[in-house]
Structure 1
Amino acid sequence: MCELLAMSANTPTDLCFSFTGLTRRGGDTGPHRDGWGVAFYEGKGVRAFHESGASASSRIAEVVQTHPIKSEVAICHIRQANVGSICLANTHPFIRELWGQYWTFAHNGQLEGFRAEPGFYEPVGDTDSEQVFCDLLNRMRAQGQRSDSLEGLSERLVKLSEGYARRGVFNLLLSNGDWLFTFCTTKMASITRRAPFGPARLKDADVIVDFEAETTANDIVSVIVTEPLTTDERWELYQPGEWRLWRKGEVMASGVVGVPDYPRPPTD
């Protein structure tokens, strides 16, 4: 399986600390050596980095770790291939334009044999994940419009996600730069950091950061991952079928829907 990482914050924030922990799992402390990617929203634009090799040994990933790119929403993915070849076209997150916004998608799981319904969006690579992304966007484009309320949009995303989860393991990160939608079928965790801030230590690297020195009293930063990244903080675990809509670091809406009882991956 792959691993996911996302951030939602109320102020432009860098992802250096969390990204450093995640990249070690890409071929060092974990087996996810088949590609990696990260997308940072900056206004209406997206700054994205992708590579088809292991993140733990990547010079590009090293630059991203040490360069404080500020963003309110970011999505990361490290890949352990199960469907599709190991190549740049198959690295997440995938990005498409819908309603004048860049939508960014990353998926952990497998929907064996899934093919998108014919429509405007078509996959470039040969993964089931990109097939699902194109299918989701085609259905959103056909059933909704850019003026839809956030409540109506989230209801549609929940319904679509519930349907995909019946086809296979579907752990999802999806954003348009304003909101971040997350859906869990097997494994996901989150943490929201706010004042008073304190230190934290990474599980996969010998790195400690004092968030008090890096933040203001008004900052709210939430991090969503497949597996907790730190050893000395309390992470909140998602239930199977749980979804949350994040905005500015806060949960705007959430719920739990029924999903098949897929085996949960072991905890590292």
Structure 2
Amino acid sequence: MCELFGASSSTPRSLSRWLRPFRLRGGESADNPDGWGIAFWSGGHPNIEKSPEPGWSSTHFLQLSENLASDLVIAHVRKARHPPVPSVENTHPFVHPCCGREWVFAHNGLVSDVAESAPNPSCHPVGETDSEHAFCQILAGIAGTYATDDHQPWLNALNRLADAIATRGKFNFLLSDGRILMAYGHDRLHYLESSDGRGSFALVATEPLADGPWQPFADQELRVYKDGVLLARYSPQGFAQASSELPDKGAA
């Protein structure tokens, strides 16, 4: 049922060690043959490459997995379920504008009735997936509180929205505004946090990729990264601040 890969790093770096096995999850080592996509940032703007072909056999995806270097990445391999046909319009990641920035989203799971909710007049899905409809609902829900200098209000809103949408099915996702990486593990996500001579980095994947101290998300856990460092995490047990860059919950 689709798979996700995300990376946040303090400096642009090669991700080939993890993208190589992730590409093979697109129809060879796992049953996700219905499209692949990858978003990577440069100059503050996302570049989106995607195709409805199987990831494992895509020459272009192979070239990207070997040569790409970036400090922020969201990738996806698809198992088509809603709708059950491959097409470029229904291939993740999706991109939509909000609050003066370009946002990117990819989803694993199924929340098929989310399209029946009130539409977001400022976000019109290009494809037919439940995923893109959920993306538009998220953008509508955070638009009124989003600010680049105060993360707390809109991250609170994002966490509430994610929990609410997750009650309608399975809802694991990656989301970015081009500055931070947000990863929500409803029931199936892992993370790896590390550092080396080039700085800090954090990886998120549906299933662990390559060797390393991968850890499972708690159910309904939201983890927020910037420059490879954990800023905050939310879980059903509450909020935990992980960086002084994020204001206290009670801050004005």
TM-score (norm 1): 0.83
Displacement of 1:43: 2.4
Residue 38 (1) aligns with residue 17 (2): no
Supply the AA of the counterpart residue of 2:131. S
What is residue 227 of structure 1 aligned with on the other side? 207
- Report if aligned partners of 1:44, 1:102 keep a CA contact under 8 Å in 2: no
Determine the C-alpha separation between the residues in 2 that align with 1:240 and 1:158.
13
- Report if aligned partners of 1:44, 1:101 keep a CA contact under 8 Å in 2: no
Any unmatched runs of 5+ in structure 2? 238-252
Residue 59 (1) aligns with residue 59 (2): yes
Determine the C-alpha separation between the residues in 1 that align with 2:43 and 2:161.
27
Any unmatched runs of 5+ in structure 1? 196-216, 259-268
| Greater fraction of residues in strand | 2
Displacement of 1:140: 2.1
What is residue 120 of structure 1 aligned with on the other side? 122
Determine the C-alpha separation between the residues in 1 that align with 2:157 and 2:81.
28
Determine the C-alpha separation between the residues in 1 that align with 2:147 and 2:62.
38
Supply the AA of the counterpart residue of 1:55. G
Over the matched positions of the two proteins, sequence identity in percent amounts to 30
1:76-125 CA-to-partner distances (Å, cap 9, x unmatched) read 00000110131000000001111221100000000022215222111111
Displacement of 1:151: 1.4
- Report if aligned partners of 2:172, 2:188 keep a CA contact under 8 Å in 1: yes
After TM superposition, list the pairs within 5 Å mapping 1:1-268 onto structure 2: 1-67=1-67, 69-84=68-83, 85-115=85-115, 116-118=117-119, 119-141=121-143, 143-146=144-147, 149-195=150-196, 217-230=197-210, 232-257=211-236
Supply the AA of the counterpart residue of 1:221. F
TM-score (norm 2): 0.89
Determine the C-alpha separation between the residues in 2 that align with 1:80 and 1:94.
16
Determine the C-alpha separation between the residues in 2 that align with 1:147 and 1:30.
38
1:218-253 CA-to-partner distances (Å, cap 9, x unmatched) read 4111110000012x3221111111111111111100
What is residue 250 of structure 2 aligned with on the other side? none
Count of aligned residue pairs for this structure pair: 234
Displacement of 1:148: 6.2
Report runs of 4+ in structure 1 exceeding 3 Å deviation.
145-148
